[in-house]
Amino acid sequence: MRKEKKLSCFFEPKTVAVIGASNQTGSAGYFIMENFVAGKFHGKVFPVNPNHKQIFGLKSFSSVLKIKEEIDLAVICTPAKTVPGIFRECGEKRIPATIIISAGFNETGNNALTLELKKEIKRYPNTRCIGPNCLGVLNSFTGVDTLFLPEYRLERPQKGSVSFISQSGALGSAILDWASMQGYGISKFVSYGNALDVDESDLIEYLARDKQTRVIAVYLEGVKNGRKFFETAKKYGCKKPIIVLKGGTTKAGSKAALSHTASLAGSSKVFKALFKQTALIEARHLLELFDYARTFARLPKPKGKRIQIITDGGGYGILTADSIELNGMKLAEMSPESIEKIKAKMPSYAIIKNPMDLTGDATNERYETAIQQALLDEKVDMVIVIILYQVPTLNSSIVPTIAKLNRKKIKPLIVISVGGSYSDLHKRALEKEGVINFSYPNEAVKSLKVLHEFYSKKKKHEKN
């Protein structure tokens, strides 16, 4: 069995060699050099390209073997046929981590070349390898960024607590782009492609132990080693929320997965069993993957499943109550004392039930009273605050009001921001203040359900 080596050099290297570095804009070797030289990376960069003397103003080496310093990470973006030889040189130099960006291996049916590379990987067990056929790694904290797409096409998100693992590079990059637009932070991102060495299980294990990662979100098409994946899920599924979207759960999808990452997509039954037997969280669709990731990143652990709805629009309150029942959650019943306290500060026509309807002339003060009491009440586990900003009696200081109430994170609190551009302004302001927002009741309730389920499962698994 090959010796397990820590993966930290992929994420926190001090010295990086870019093999296939280039001065020519548009090429992968150019963008990757640019990321390391002009980006946030503070370590030392060594371009490797025998055809040039200087690249990005730095001395270019003809081979990694010519570099005197120790190299922590080599990024390989040369034509496929050169990769086995280059990997061998990395092995000779005892480089602990390599990322092979280059495509043209088993995913295109090039099995001979793939076998050749596999042999080299086996020969140098201390040289770990991500890829080939991948985008590689992004670490928002150290500035490692092997994504060969310019920032104007693919925004880089800010630092955050969610780490993403994606077998598909394109899907992974779309996730990054989406997170940037929404203002969500990312800790680490890995597109691992054909996974000839480092696979999803290794990455999950690493991120589960990583202090800068609070939530792990995974897109995968196939699993290289089912037993290993199951053990990893069992061992780490309780440590942190690990949300998994599985592509190729149907006949149609799994056929497509075979041509994509050469994955033999496991049957959906096996995965259903996996989700049952471990605390792994299933996302059935992309939207769920996004919603659940940001929910776990933002919300604290709930004590139970009783939700209080606070709204200024009756219709939205009703739809949310419907969703709560349909998702197996419960409407909270506030204590008589809480209700008295709230009623004392409300007009007689406000409906102090659940949903609590502050009505179409709701004010910031009414929201403050209601939310404060719901957060204090022992019989309320989570709070959904629905705001229709069209109400003329509301003003923009609703944002700092809610942000303040949410700051201590006593209980999970979700805001459903309803409407168009005017609402959107407030939604973004709330998100900046750390308050999670949804546009629709059902998506909000589903996310709270999954939050509650994870912590229940975790408790159960920890007991056993």
C-beta of 15 vs 327, nearer to a copy of itself: 327
168, containing H or E segment:
none
Q: Which of 5, 26, 276, 434 binds a copy of itself (CB under 8 A)?
A: 26
Q: Which of 264, 273, 287, 410 binds a copy of itself (CB under 8 A)?
A: 287
C-beta of 13 vs 248, nearer to a copy of itself: 248
Which positions ≥6 away from 255 have C-beta within 8 Å? none
For residue 90, the minimal CB distance to a copy of itself (Å) is: 25
For residue 320, the minimal CB distance to a copy of itself (Å) is: 8
- Determine if 221 is a binding residue for a copy of itself (CB under 8 A): yes
Q: Which of 8, 15, 63, 180 binds a copy of itself (CB under 8 A)?
A: 180
Question: What's the token pair of residue 59?
Answer: 């001395």
- Determine if 174 is a binding residue for a copy of itself (CB under 8 A): yes
CA-only gyration radius of the chain, Å: 25
Tell me if residue 309 falls in helix, strand or coil: strand
Residues 107-126 that bind a copy of itself (CB under 8 A): 108
For residue 92, the minimal CB distance to a copy of itself (Å) is: 32
C-beta of 238 vs 342, nearer to a copy of itself: 342
C-beta of 188 vs 260, nearer to a copy of itself: 260
- Determine if 447 is a binding residue for a copy of itself (CB under 8 A): no
Contact region with a copy of itself (CB under 8 A), list: 64-72, 148-156, 199-207, 428-436: 148-156
For residue 255, the minimal CB distance to a copy of itself (Å) is: 8
Distance CA 128, CA 94 (A): 10
Residues 331-350 that bind a copy of itself (CB under 8 A): 331, 349
- Determine if 50 is a binding residue for a copy of itself (CB under 8 A): no
For residue 15, the minimal CB distance to a copy of itself (Å) is: 28
In one-letter notation, the amino acid at residue 37 is V
Q: Which of 39, 85, 226, 315 binds a copy of itself (CB under 8 A)?
A: 315
Contact predicate 370/310, CB 8 Å: yes
For residue 440, the minimal CB distance to a copy of itself (Å) is: 5
Contact predicate 51/20, CB 8 Å: no
- Determine if 224 is a binding residue for a copy of itself (CB under 8 A): no
| HEC-encoded secondary structure of 255-274 | HHHHHHHCCCCCCHHHHHHH
Helix and strand numbers, DSSP H then E, in the chain: 16, 20
- Determine if 388 is a binding residue for a copy of itself (CB under 8 A): yes
C-beta of 46 vs 219, nearer to a copy of itself: 219
Q: Is 374 exposed, middle or buried (0-12, 13-18, 19+ CB in 10 A)?
A: buried
C-beta of 6 vs 343, nearer to a copy of itself: 343
409: region left, alpha or beta (phi > 0 left; psi from -120 to 50 alpha): left
Nearest residue to 290 via CA among 176, 119, 413, 408? 176
Nearest residue to 140 via CA among 170, 113, 161? 161
Please count the residues of this chain forming the interface with a copy of itself, following the rule CB under 8 A.
82
Residues 351-380 that bind a copy of itself (CB under 8 A): 351, 353, 355, 357, 360
In one-letter notation, the amino acid at residue 167 is Q
- Determine if 442 is a binding residue for a copy of itself (CB under 8 A): yes
- Determine if 152 is a binding residue for a copy of itself (CB under 8 A): yes
Distance CA 430, CA 59 (A): 48
For residue 149, the minimal CB distance to a copy of itself (Å) is: 5
Question: What's the token pair of residue 282?
Answer: 């299933």
> Per-residue DSSP letters for 350-395?
SEESSSEE--TT--HHHHHHHHHHHHH-TT--EEEEEEETT-TT--
235: region left, alpha or beta (phi > 0 left; psi from -120 to 50 alpha): alpha
Residues 247-286 that bind a copy of itself (CB under 8 A): 247-253, 255-257, 259-261, 284-286
- Determine if 32 is a binding residue for a copy of itself (CB under 8 A): no
Distances in Å between the Cα of 151 and the Cα atoms of 36, 171, 184, 199 are: 13, 16, 16, 27
Distances in Å between the Cα of 223 and the Cα atoms of 247, 291, 428, 436 are: 11, 24, 38, 33
- Determine if 134 is a binding residue for a copy of itself (CB under 8 A): no
Contact region with a copy of itself (CB under 8 A), list: 60-68, 73-81, 172-180, 198-206: 172-180
C-beta of 48 vs 135, nearer to a copy of itself: 135
Distance CA 244, CA 278 (A): 12
- Determine if 395 is a binding residue for a copy of itself (CB under 8 A): no
Tell me if residue 320 falls in helix, strand or coil: helix
Distance CA 415, CA 430 (A): 9
Contact region with a copy of itself (CB under 8 A), list: 48-56, 116-124, 152-160, 333-341: 152-160
Residues 70-109 that bind a copy of itself (CB under 8 A): 108
C-beta of 12 vs 361, nearer to a copy of itself: 361
Contact region with a copy of itself (CB under 8 A), list: 3-11, 92-100, 387-395, 428-436: 387-395
